Chain A
């Protein structure tokens, strides 16, 4: 086996040059093979750690009620009906609808409102720009619990909107700190020359933004949209505060935990419900892998 069996696109730090291999012959090659085996065994072990929970989850979701309470790992009979039963649990479809509304509308509002702010922070010099940026970062770091009590009192007592998801959706129309920050980091990488060229050609600021900046920032916008979508999809605290007393406004994440409460011994049904809540995220990941990874990388490395 030769050392240049690099099938991936990554640059391994220790790739040996062919000249080395030829010069020292067999000893080097044996070392390389052992290294390959060691790395890949470790890789398989790690993969098991990451994948086995999913496997157990799926297997249990297909067991009968009684078998799910035993230590068995493999289903005796494959109860595909568990999924139908969960799907038809009263409320489950409502949770889906609410989650899609919260995540979909929230994401749309976030993107529309955050892009112009990020653009201003990345490309314009104005008084208080650094202060604004610091406030964005501070807001991003702020635990939601810090302001939840006045916010709750405002929405529930002044506007009488508790028992719905609107208190969670409406604020998204005013920009989201994390999205603004991420988009700004992305927009910094767009050379100013493009913007100057558009302005020389007579584009107004709005047209420059829509025609030049938005198309060039598409990967960043996609990453932000995905993050925001899953943030809402996964949110537990928000629905717990505003929607907990009205089951008609529950989301999947909030409903799932109560589902466990109602079926406290039925691990098979609970795990089937869990799979149904995880599945959309994972399916979407396979369609939008690049945007996901780009978004994560952007948070840590660029800037």
Chain B
């Protein structure tokens, strides 16, 4: 226990308190921090032009991306339990993208969804569907990120599959005798039985979405590079701040503008949001984290 306690203090408690302290100071990392009251807080909330766009994007991802991922993950999990021939092959294929390193997966998707030359739009054209600009269009960049997240849904598939196979078979048999159709069985037997796992997927998904950093950052940078050429400085969150998320602001404020005080304010906003959802997770003792044992 004790080495962990040292680690906990040095890598968690102390830095967290420092973050709180720095958020009330003017601090560039060179001159000693100087107390400036709530200046950073009012700057971030009222004058920093990137904060609210990033907040909106993060909330969009928390709501839309997470719900799409949970529904799709459940769908793929259900499908994987129904497949009878070649189960192993299908399962492996469904799972594989989850393993792709985020930077590599994002690069691949920016290429695949590249409006001019990408194969995705070639295929969409071929079947007569409209081909959007994806990562180069502010209205489509978050749906494109969602597509990337759906590609990597393998983890949820595995979790849902395990839960689905644990649903007592007798319940389905009884329902079938009562003449329940497939939809009724899903609604009245499957979903109630796996609801703790759905809850788990939602909560962890929300926490992941709030920490969403690498994919939107790399997608924005690479898509901007495709358009603007290398060396060109573009505003973060290309296109039109649509791929900016809260974690990116910590990096932008702290490590590019050396405004550590304001960066700490954003860090604490993230902290508050995360803890709110963690509290939700902890409240469901036993079911979700097994603390009751």
Are A and B genuine complex partners?
yes
The reply to whether A43 and B90 form a contact with Cβ atoms under 8 Å apart is yes
Among A6, A36, A260, A292, point to the contact of B225 (Cβ < 8 A): A260
> What is the bound-complex CA distance between A54 and B109, given in angstroms?
10
Contacts of A237 in B (CB 8 A): 213-214, 247, 251
- Near B by CB (< 8 A), chain A positions 119-140 give 120, 126, 130, 132-135, 137-139
Is B250's beta carbon under 8 Å from chain A? Answer: yes
Q: Which residues of B contact A153 (CB under 8 A)?
A: 29, 260
The reply to whether B11 and A145 form a contact with Cβ atoms under 8 Å apart is: no
B15 contacts the other chain (Cβ, under 8 Å)?
yes
Residues from chain A with a CB closer than 8 A to the CB of B163 are 300-301
- Which residues of A224-248 have CB atoms within 8 Å of chain B's CB atoms? 230, 233-234, 236-237, 240-241
Interface pick from A8-16, A21-29, A85-93: A8-16
Shortest distance from the beta carbon of A15 to any chain B beta carbon, whole Å: 9
For residue A107, CB closer than 8 A to chain B, the reply is no
Name the distance in Å between B206's Cβ and chain A's nearest Cβ.
10
20 more contacts with CB within 8 A, not counting A52-B119, A147-B11, are: A57-B111, A116-B3, A137-B289, A142-B12, A143-B210, A145-B266, A145-B270, A149-B254, A150-B22, A171-B10, A180-B4, A181-B289, A257-B103, A261-B225, A261-B230, A270-B107, A274-B108, A281-B99, A282-B96, A296-B158
Report if B143 contacts A (CB, 8 A): no
A117 to chain B, nearest CB (A): 4
CB of B112 within 8 Å of the partner chain: yes
> What residues on A are CB-neighbors of B90 within 8 Å?
43, 46-47
Determine which of B1, B99, B263, B288 lies in contact with A132 in the assembled complex, contact meaning CB atoms within 8 Å. Answer: B1
Is B19 an interface residue, CB under 8 A from the partner?
yes
Chain B hits for A270, CB < 8 A:
107, 111
A147 and B19 contacting across the interface, CB-CB below 8 Å: yes
Q: Is A210 an interface residue (CB 8 A)?
A: no
Q: How far is the CA of A138 from the CA of B12 in the complex (A)?
A: 10
Q: Which listed residue, B10, B96, B159, B268, touches A146 by the CB 8 Å rule?
A: B268
- Are B162 and A13 closer than 8 Å at their CB atoms? no
Residue total for B at the interface (Cβ-Cβ under 8 A):
105
Which B residues lie within 8 Å of A62 (CB)?
Answer: none
A-B interface pairs (CB < 8 A), number: 297
Contacts of A82 in B (CB 8 A): none
Task: Answer whether A233 and B101 are a contact pair too, CB < 8 Å, given A47-B90, A141-B207.
Answer: yes
> Nearest CB to that of A16 among chain B residues?
B176
Q: For the complex, what is the distance from the CA of A303 to the CA of B93, rounded to whole Å? A: 28
B267's partner among A145, A157, A301 (CB-CB below 8 A) is A145
Alpha-carbon distance A80/B288, docked complex (angstroms)? 49
Say which one of A67-75, A193-201, A211-219 lies at the interface with B: A67-75
Residues of B within 8 A of A (CB): 1, 3-4, 6-8, 10-12, 14-16, 18-19, 22, 29, 76, 79-88, 90, 92-97, 99-105, 107-109, 111-112, 116-117, 119, 122, 151, 154-155, 158-159, 162-167, 169, 172, 197, 200-201, 204, 207, 210-211, 213-214, 217-218, 221-222, 225-226, 229-230, 246-247, 250-251, 254-255, 260, 263-264, 266-268, 270-271, 274-275, 277-278, 281-282, 288-291, 293
B267 touches A147 (CB 8 A): yes
Among B8, B104, B107, B167, point to the contact of A13 (Cβ < 8 A). B167
Q: Beyond A148-B254, A262-B230, is A50–B213 a contact (Cβ under 8 Å)?
A: no
A171–B22 touching, CB < 8 Å:
no
Taking the closest CB of chain B, its distance from the CB of A140, in whole angstroms, is 9
Chain B residue at minimal CB-CB distance from A141:
B278
Complexed CA–CA distance, A271 and B154 (Å)? 22
Whole-angstrom distance between the Cβ of B116 and the nearest chain A Cβ? 8
Encoded as 1 (CB less than 8 Å from any B CB) or 0, chain A from 249 to 268 comes to 00011101100111010010
Known: A56-B119, A147-B12. A174 touches B4 (CB 8 A): yes
Smallest CB separation, A121 vs chain B (Å): 8
Is B111 a contact of A134 with CB atoms below 8 Å? no
A53 adjacent to B222 (CB under 8 Å): no
- Is the beta-carbon distance between B96 and A285 smaller than 8 angstroms? yes
Q: How far is the CA of A152 from the CA of B86 in the complex (A)?
A: 50
Question: Are B250 and A145 neighbours in the complex by a CB distance under 8 Å?
Answer: yes
